[in-house]
Amino acid sequence: MSDLPTSLEETIDQAIASTRAAIADGLIRLQVDMVIPELKQQPIAERFLSLFQDLGLQFKVFFPDAGAAALAKRDWNNPDFTIRGINEIQATVEPDDEAFLIVNPSSVEVQDVEKLCNEAQDRPVILLNPQLEDVSIVGIGYAARQIRERFLSTLTSAYSYRPMPDAAVLRRHPQGWQIWQEIDDQYELKAELPERPSSEALDNVLYGEEDANSATPKPKKSLLGELQKFLKALSQ
């Protein structure tokens, strides 16, 4: 099924299932995006651990810095797998490592992330809710373009979910990018595209054929509000 998730729990379950499918298809540099404001990353990452455990893979988890890694290690009761900051000296790839989870890396860590992905070679690396394209840091010039062409373009979206006030974009590997729109309190699939839709493509699908005589669209309830009800329960 390609239905939109109705809770944060379902969103995470979809993301894990899609990532598992992408790994099964031999994809190794995977990106998972849940574009939900105020999302707490550590509990989401903890849920993702089951993916590696179910697959029987020896894995490492990396956070943006040593402080976040230490906090996760404490909250996860000092587990027997490695948890590090991506920029720590010890954040290295070893021969018996089989998979890697990088949690919420920002554009500040993009070079460290690229280095680890290169060292991982053909082993799966999952970037969970990355924010690697901050223009204010990466920039918009030649160097930024190089990073995009050399590294960011090698990432494959295993899962992406972005709820909006009256629409949503969903990508679940191996399916395309689905654009859903809320019509009369129900979400309808408006289009499925082979690539991530640009803002212009999104507007064309959602509003391109809108009746010129129609009144201003009435406010719609947001999936975001429904999803946020699950945040506290998950992060407690």
pTM, two decimals, is: 0.84
Mean pLDDT of 209-224: 44
Closest Cα partner for 224 from 38, 62, 43, 13? Answer: 38
pLDDT on residue 37:
82
108 Cβ contact list (under 8 Å, min separation 6): 64, 137
CB atoms within 10 A of CB 98: 14
| Structure-model confidence comparison of residues 154 and 214, the more confident one | 154
Q: What count of Cα atoms within 13 Å lies in the side-chain half-sphere of residue 62?
A: 28
Q: Where does the pLDDT of residue 133 fall: very low under 50, low under 70, confident under 90, or very high at 90 and above?
A: confident
pLDDT for residue 174:
96
Q: Tokens 């890694």 sit at which residue?
A: 69
| Spatial contact of 27 and 127, defined as CB atoms under 8 Å apart | no
Q: Does residue 76 carry a pLDDT above 90? A: yes
What pLDDT sits at residue 146?
74
Residue the block writes with tokens 């000092």: 78
Q: What is the pLDDT of residues 151-171, one digit of tens each?
A: 888 999 999 999 988 899 999
Q: What is the pLDDT of residue 209?
A: 57
Domains of the chain, each with CATH number or no CATH: 8-235 (3.40.50)
Helix (H, G, I), strand (E, B) or coil at 30: strand
